[in-house]
Chains A and B, each alone.
Chain A
Amino acid sequence: MPSLQPPSAAASPPPLFSMRDVGKRFPNGTLALQGMSLECGDHEFISFLGPSGCGKSTALRLIAGLTRVSEGALEWPERPAPADGQRELGFVFQEPTLMPWAKVFDNVWLPLKLAGVKRDAAAPVIRQVLEMVGLSRFADVYPRELSGGMKMRVSIARALVTQPRLLLMDEPFAALDEMTRIKLNNDLLAIWREHRFSVVFVTHSVYESVYLSSRIVVMAARPGRVVETFGIEEPYPRGEEFRTSSRYNQHCMAVQRSLHGALGGQDIDH
């Protein structure tokens, strides 16, 4: 029966990945995540928003394959295999996580080097991603010579160098000052719009998630679970206008209410 159907362009493409009732229990018995279901399509920007201990980082690590699903199913539908040196995933940690002994250029080269791409062959794409994050002039500098925001840009460049279809970001801007964070938010959106990958972004900031996302997954702790999902159907590009608009505020308030409901009025540290 399926063979009779023509491969029509109208059929929606399969999701990048889908989670069905996914749960994670650590060996010590802690239930970090329970019953999470989610589908991520092409060119989405999804935020996981919630207090500490809500399992948002665990969910991200599950998607990345850094830890194993203990309940439910996490599936990656068949897709054409990525070309040489390309990987399905990019990952940005909360800390820049750069190798202090390697220059910026070599830090960005790492994912390609591990895939067997020689330095010279990798150079054009490394230059290109450094350009994207605005660090062309800093290729030959050691990480210690960079500011916190610039280190994070290197980390993003490294995640993008394999041209991933999905970029996973674990509170990447949490440790940065407000001005740097806004600048990086804008630059990230611009790169995302141009290169059309999908992003799953973990944050504990309501404002950041509303500003960036096309979808927000609000989560609660003990046990970690999804409370509510919001679509932020606002056009991109988003800029200062959006950030100061009443629609932005309405979204923030709605998400905030959901988040507070999830906390159950308890006085828990975020």
Chain B
Amino acid sequence: MSKPHLDAHQRKAQRREAVMRVAVPAVIILAILVGWEMMVRVNEIPHYIIPAPSLIWRTLLDNWATLWPALWFTVKLTLLALLAAVVGGVLLAIAFALFRWVEIGFFPIAVVLQVTPIIAIAPLILIYVSNTTAALLLCAWIVAFFPILSNTVIGLKSADSNLRDLFQLYKATPWQRFRHLLVPSALPYFMAGLKIAGGLALIGAVVAEFTAGTAGRETGLASRILESSFRTEIPMMFAALFLVSALGVVIFLVFAVLSKMVLGHWHESEMRREQ
């Protein structure tokens, strides 16, 4: 009862399913890369129009010394913004969930921040905040914090009403109710918000840096893309773009794994259906 009993046949089918899940997308990506390479070589397309994947890869390795610090700067910016978004989003969500008037009062402001495109606010922020890094951080934070805020607010309010009654019946203190009922109920919603916010923090960091241009002492991947576009170094643009995408994928995977670790044993969203 506690563990589904699988016979050898089912186990084999499951293993094959697991392998295919990785193999099928890998084959498709490989096919696209090979097709791209072939297209460029056969048609002799010049590298300043579309570089071949092999050239992009070589450019990446050759320029690693300049790309690596840029990547590291973007990683730092993204993670710091995300951290600030988690802290700010969660604290604000708790205030919203506990005090109705705080929510009624501040929610419109949160919405205004969310619906105004970051690219439109970024120039103003860059004017008002003299430290470029701090300005970039602020931009990325504005983009990333809303999904965490709204998801956590919904999560904190989503606790089962019978369980709420049960906590009332057993005279739980407000802290006990918060710690043992509201927080676990909100956790799946928070994790979903975190997954979205991770991607958005990266977008915010890149967009803000584009707006800021190549100013500032330290610069990130967006500056590399801008610079190479000024110099029409298309392979370098692709190489930096590849790093931005790869960073996004890594952030996505990290939070997917984290979500699975935190929720996998009980929440529907992270459970495989047993058939």
Residues of A within 8 A of B (CB): 61, 64-66, 87, 89, 91, 93, 95, 97, 99-102, 110-111, 113-115, 138, 140-142, 144-146, 162
Contact = CB atoms under 8 A, between A and B. Distances in A.
Given A66-B168, A97-B163, A114 B266 contact: no
Interface of B: 1-2, 160, 162-163, 165-172, 176, 180-181, 184, 187, 265-267, 271
A65 B166 CA distance: 11
Contact of B170 (A95, A115, A141, A146): A115
17 contacts: A66-B165, A66-B169, A91-B166, A97-B160, A97-B163, A99-B184, A100-B267, A101-B184, A101-B187, A113-B180, A114-B171, A115-B171, A140-B2, A144-B266, A144-B271, A145-B1, A146-B1
Given A100-B266, A100-B267, A142-B265, A91 B2 contact: no
A175 to B, nearest CB: 13
Nearest to A112: B170
Given A100-B267, A101-B267, A110 B170 contact: yes
A97 B267 contact: no
A97 B162 CA distance: 6
A142 B176 contact: no
B167 A99 contact: no
Contacts of B167: 114
A91 B171 CA distance: 13
A66 B165 CA distance: 7
Given A97-B162, A144-B271, A114 B168 contact: no
Contacts of A64: 169
B162 A95 contact: yes
Secondary structure class of chain A's binding surface, majority of residues? loop
B266 A89 contact: no
Given A93-B162, A99-B184, A101-B184, A87 B170 contact: yes
Contacts of B169: 64-66, 89, 91
Contacts of A89: 169
Given A93-B165, A99-B184, A101-B266, 10 more contacts: A61-B165, A91-B166, A100-B266, A110-B170, A114-B172, A114-B176, A115-B171, A141-B2, A144-B271, A145-B2
A95 to B, nearest CB: 6
B258 to A, nearest CB: 16
B170 to A, nearest CB: 5
A115 B166 CA distance: 13
Nearest to A140: B2
B166 A142 contact: no
6 tightest A-B contacts by CB? A97-B162, A114-B170, A101-B184, A101-B266, A93-B162, A114-B172
A111 B181 CA distance: 13
A113 B167 CA distance: 11
A65 B171 CA distance: 11
B274 to A, nearest CB: 10
Contacts of A66: 165, 168-169
A20 to B, nearest CB: 23
Indicate the member of A100, A111, A138 with the most B CB atoms within 10 Å.
A100
Contacts of A145: 1-2
A87 B267 CA distance: 31
A234 to B, nearest CB: 32
Contacts of B176: 114
Contact of B2 (A95, A99, A138): A138
B20 to A, nearest CB: 27
Nearest to A94: B162
